[in-house]
Amino acid sequence: MPEASSQTKRKTGWKKADKRRPGIYKRPRVSGFEYGYYDTQLGRIVGGQPSKEVAEEAKGKADSRKRAGAPAPQTQSRLIRDLGEEVREAKRRRNLARFKDWERMLDLFLAELGHLKPSQVGPDRLARLLRDMEDGTITGHPLAPASIRKNLAPLNSIFKLAMRRGFISVNSLTLLDEDERAVMAGGGVRDHYEWNPKEVSDLIAASERVAKRRESRYDYSPLIRVLVFLGLRNGEALGLRVRDVDLLGGILHVRHNWRRDGSLSDTKTEAGVRDVPLSPGLVDLFALVIPADADPDDFVFHAKGNPRRPVSYFNFRTRGFLPALKEAGLEGRGITVHGLRSAAVSIYAASGLTLAETADAMGQADPLVTWKHYLKMFDRSKVNERIRAAQESIELVAEES
């Protein structure tokens, strides 16, 4: 029986699994090993088997097929594993950023689903995969909904390729039920918190107390204030440079976005380029944060000792924002850094700004997006008072009539 060539084994990582089992091979995967057998009809190693015994059984069926004169099945390109390798190669050619994290998740998916065809991975199997990602069964540590959404990108690419090839007619990720799709959406904007004035005040005061702790390395309270009162996106706030702050005119020029990969880019959308008016209190805040001798290209919220680099988002979140939430008694309520943008939208709307005016200040072209995704009730107690007053006026009209 022909054996797999040394060149084939070297390129694919296959090695003989056992001297007592000729024609059975193995190669390492994220979760242990996968096994395969050399198919003489196809002229290559066919993998995807979970154990030596299963590989031997598959090899026996292949040998029987050959003896019977049946044609070799052309199923290689239909497996998720092989589609995944095509997607991997395409991404390598494009030299996309953060490829290592993407490739790591691809390997995890191929280890779990690689031996299956795309048509065999339905919504039930994907729902189980989502649960395994949530509780850390696959990754070794639990993943937040937003991380799950990001890490599903390789699998989504595989399903799209399978659709183009005609192996499936619909992307199985789109067949998940509403709750499962909410996980894919990273928690979604539906989870934005409904604020009231006291909670906003408590959060700001708590951030100032956290900054005064002996173990604190940085005062993140000004950044929290800016995010709450201006509603900037996280990257827009971190990307602010001294040249963007007009203290005399009381205007903040939003022009750039600091990405988490450490690069300064354009704003998320064209509408993100905007001039935001500053209250006297915020002008004073920026005047305290920006040194008098600062260079125009220095970042406003810069790393300690390095004005040419903004503070790390992850340091801000773990050392400033989350401790402030805990100190303010707001921990465990689903409040995120991005949720501060929703707080700003709600404050603006409650202060009497129209939806169009609020959307313009937030850097959003479509006011309906602002209303649908970010606007929440602010200071519900006052809203309830106005509702009661309206009810009383209706009662008076009814009595008079």
Residues 153 and 263 in one domain: no
The angle at the Cα of 355, spanning 349 to 356, to the nearest 5 degrees, equals: 135
The string of DSSP codes covering 4-44 is: PPHHHHHHHT-EE--TTSTTEEEEEETTEEEEEEEETTTTE
Q: Tokens 């049946």 appear where?
A: 70
Residue 392 located in a structural domain: no
Question: For position 398, what pLDDT does the model report?
Answer: 65
Question: For position 180, what pLDDT does the model report?
Answer: 57
* CA 228 – CA 205 distance, rounded (Å): 13
Residue 356 located in a structural domain: yes
Residue 120 located in a structural domain: yes
Residue 288 located in a structural domain: yes
Residue 282 located in a structural domain: yes
Residues 182 and 196 in one domain: no
Residues 121 and 51 in one domain: no
Residues 221 and 350 in one domain: yes
Question: For position 142, what pLDDT does the model report?
Answer: 76
* CA 315 – CA 320 distance, rounded (Å): 7
> Of 68, 100, 120, which residue sits at a domain end?
68
139 touches 187 (CB < 8 A): no
Question: For position 361, what pLDDT does the model report?
Answer: 87
> Of 170, 187, 204, which residue sits at a domain end?
187
Residues 176 and 196 in one domain: no
30 touches 111 (CB < 8 A): yes
Question: For position 49, what pLDDT does the model report?
Answer: 81
Domain count of the fold of the chain: 3
Residues 104 and 142 in one domain: yes
Question: For position 12, what pLDDT does the model report?
Answer: 62
* CA 129 – CA 122 distance, rounded (Å): 11
CATH number at residue 265: 1.10.443.10
* CA 16 – CA 22 distance, rounded (Å): 8
Residues 181 and 87 in one domain: yes
Burial level of 99, CB count in 10 A (0-12/13-18/19+)?
Answer: middle
Cα 145 to the center of its chain, rounded Å:
8
DSSP bridge partners of 38:
45
> Of 121, 155, 187, which residue sits at a domain end?
187
Residue 272 located in a structural domain: yes
Residues 63 and 84 in one domain: no
Residue 394 located in a structural domain: no
* CA 314 – CA 211 distance, rounded (Å): 16
Instruction: State which amino acid sits at residue 96.
Output: L
Q: Is pTM beyond 0.75 here?
A: no
Strand 245-246 with 251-254, pairing: antiparallel
Domain that holds residue 177: 80-187
Closest CA to 123 of 73, 72, 177: 177
* CA 2 – CA 15 distance, rounded (Å): 15
Question: For position 295, what pLDDT does the model report?
Answer: 95
CB burial of 31-46 (b: ≥16 within 10 Å; e: otherwise) equals eebbbbbbbbeeebbb
Cα Rg of the chain (Å, integer)? 29
Contacts 24+ apart (CB under 8 A), 207-213: 207/320, 207/321, 207/324, 207/327, 209/327, 210/320, 210/323, 210/324, 210/327, 211/320
Question: For position 190, what pLDDT does the model report?
Answer: 45
Residues 196 and 304 in one domain: yes
Residue 225 located in a structural domain: yes
Residue 393 in tokens = 């006026």
Q: Helix or strand or coil: residue 391?
A: helix
16 touches 27 (CB < 8 A): no
Residues 140 and 40 in one domain: no
* CA 37 – CA 39 distance, rounded (Å): 6
367 touches 358 (CB < 8 A): yes
Closest CA to 125 of 116, 195, 85: 116
Instruction: State which amino acid sits at residue 274.
Output: R
Question: For position 347, what pLDDT does the model report?
Answer: 84
* CA 118 – CA 172 distance, rounded (Å): 9
Residues 183 and 197 in one domain: no
Residues 103 and 44 in one domain: no
Q: pLDDT means per 10 residues in the chain (401 residues)?
A: 56 76 81 81 77 88 80 62 85 64 84 86 82 78 75 87 80 70 49 80 94 92 94 92 95 89 82 92 94 94 92 89 93 84 84 85 80 67 73 69 62
